[in-house]
A and B are shown apart, each in its own frame.
Chain A
């Protein structure tokens, strides 16, 4: 029987809790704000003997992911955590981890990429990695980060998937914020996560394997196709894991979760902590009789375009909020993918983009109210500039 306890925990502690319950074989990490509390909490668990993990305190994030690759290829369940420039430094190996089909789970505490240097939250780091072949999960709060981390292990290790997973949560806003969270008991968590049965482990010396050969133009493309196929399989694997974990917690998980969405005419789409704030405004406006709603992405990679269409097609206007810019692009990362999902549809809402919150600039209730207000004009056909900016001084 699963037991849930309400606790007051920061988002980082929630991730650490999940890691404690998972008890990975190896963790290799390098500190960077705001990911550090995760590693501090975890290394306390190591010191107290609450986990059996081999904790490698590497000398850079590049080495962190490199060691993770070595460990995962060796056949060990491997995890790590990082943010912003740490993620950027390990980018080369992040790509290699996915191409080598290693089920590494990484907590990314979203922080703005330098420069100039900024330690606060935006999604430029994980957005920058969206093409690396990693599965990406986004978390509205600490509790979701905890749940996503437990589910990530199962998704990554699914034999038809074998892709690494990054679980994202907002730096400082949720990582350093104590909130009421509901966690499940150790036994249920461990039972859910289960044992790792590695394929083709380096340490299986009776069956030697070569990882990372030279792959030229005669084969490389086919290997990339295998990766692409794995991402497709991930869609099914994720759904299965959502259903199974949902039975443990009693909650419903989906790729894109709607809040008062069914009959909403004006919808905001945003991920992570901003979704929570948006819910407050949705409630406020609904009380006044306005038909507004929220769509919150939990899974960005793989991108389940069909569900986006299914959930949004009835709306009149949609504002896609991006907490990252794509310099020189037409709008932000979410905008481009969500909008593109509708390309073939005959029935589609008017879709506009708001870039917000860069470098930790707060998204407050006033901004959200304004966005919903502007969506009125958009709904009636006055789209104007479809890429807008919220919260920036003009």
Chain B
């Protein structure tokens, strides 16, 4: 049975966690991987906690369950660390990537996670690059650095393709900037 990389995103409705997951999956597909990405819906409104999942594998993926034991958990909204058990099921050998200004120890204490914790102030990057605290592209960059699952160029490419239709050139460029900054700045 081929290994499947399982990633779980935690965010709040409207922050683009679902989009980030989908982008990652699609970029992986571009590279010939088999992918699966889907959100878990609750009350669909702005601000409610949401989860998004990504599976990436070299073999076809047939499983259709939520991800209970992810290898990587990505937390897009810092306030979730206190209210949602984000590290649930996270493998000790995996990584927890959190958008926060808090230090790693604080996160470790709050989540109880014993493995690798990576923090990045994606909100700051997003505000500086985009003018809005929409952190998903920055988080993508961070995840990519930590997991190295896709090729960074492919990821940039794909993200551009995805956003250009909706956001136009300028905003898309800024999103790529955010992505690259996070990629470069995060301590993997």
A→B interface (CB under 8 Å): 6-8, 10, 119-120, 140-141, 170, 172-174, 176-180, 273-277, 279-280, 283-284, 287, 362-365
Q: Are B35 and A280 touching (Cβ within 8 A)?
A: no
Instruction: Other than A6-B29, A364-B68, give 4 A-B pairs with Cβ distance below 8 A.
Output: A8-B37, A178-B22, A179-B61, A276-B62
Q: How far is the CA of A273 from the CA of B36 in the complex (A)?
A: 13
B37: nearest residue on chain A (CB-CB)? A178
CB contact list, B30-68 vs A, under 8 A:
33-39, 41, 60-66, 68
B interface residues (Cβ-Cβ under 8 A, vs A): 1, 22, 25-26, 29, 33-39, 41, 60-66, 68
A174 to chain B: which residues have CB within 8 Å?
64
- A272–B105 CA distance with the chains assembled, in angstroms: 44
Residue in chain A with minimal CB distance to B55:
A179
Which of B25, B33, B35, B36 gathers the greatest number of chain A CB atoms within 10 Å?
B36
Distance from B27 Cβ to chain A, minimum over Cβ atoms (Å): 9
Contact of B35 among A8, A141, A173, A363 (CB under 8 A): A8
Instruction: Give the chain B neighbours of A8 by CB distance below 8 A.
Output: 22, 25-26, 29, 35, 37
Name the 5 nearest CB pairs between A and B, nearest first.
A177-B38, A276-B62, A273-B64, A178-B37, A8-B26
Q: Is the interface of A mostly helix, strand, loop or mixed?
A: mixed
Asked whether A178 lies within 8 Å of B35 as measured between CB atoms, the reply is yes
Name 7 A/B residue pairs within 8 A (Cβ), A-sorted.
A119-B41, A174-B64, A177-B64, A178-B25, A273-B64, A364-B66, A365-B63
CB distance from A140 to the nearest CB of B (A): 8
A contact residues around B68 at 8 Å (CB): 364
How far is B36's CA from A283's CA once the two chains are assembled, in angstroms? 19
Q: Which of B34, B38, B64 contacts A274 (CB 8 A)?
A: B64
Report the bound CA distance from A172 to B60 in whole Å.
20
In the assembled complex, the Cα of A119 lies from the Cα of B68 at a distance in Å of: 22
Within 8 Å by CB of B34, from A177, A180, A277, lies A180
Question: Contacts of B34 on A, CB cut-off 8 Å?
Answer: 180
Question: Which of the residues A170, A172, A277 comes within 8 Å of B63, measured between beta carbons?
Answer: A277
CA distance A174 to B64 in the complex (A): 8
When distances are taken between beta carbons in the complex, the residues of chain B under 8 Å from A176 are: 38-39, 41
- Minimum CB–CB distance from B160 to chain A (whole Å) comes to 16
Q: How far is the CB of A277 from chain B (nearest CB, A)?
A: 5
The chain B residue sitting closest to A170, CB to CB, is B64
Query: B residues within 8 A CB of A284?
Result: 1
Given A362-B65, A362-B66, A178-B1 contact (CB < 8 Å): no
Which chain B positions have C-beta within 8 A of A283? 1
Counting chain A CB atoms within 10 Å of each CB, which of B37, B61, B62, B63 scores highest? B62
Contact B38 A287 (CB under 8 A): no
Chain B contacts for A275, CB-based, 8 A = 62
Once the chains bind, are A179 and B63 in contact (CB under 8 Å)? no
Residue of B nearest to A10 (CB): B38
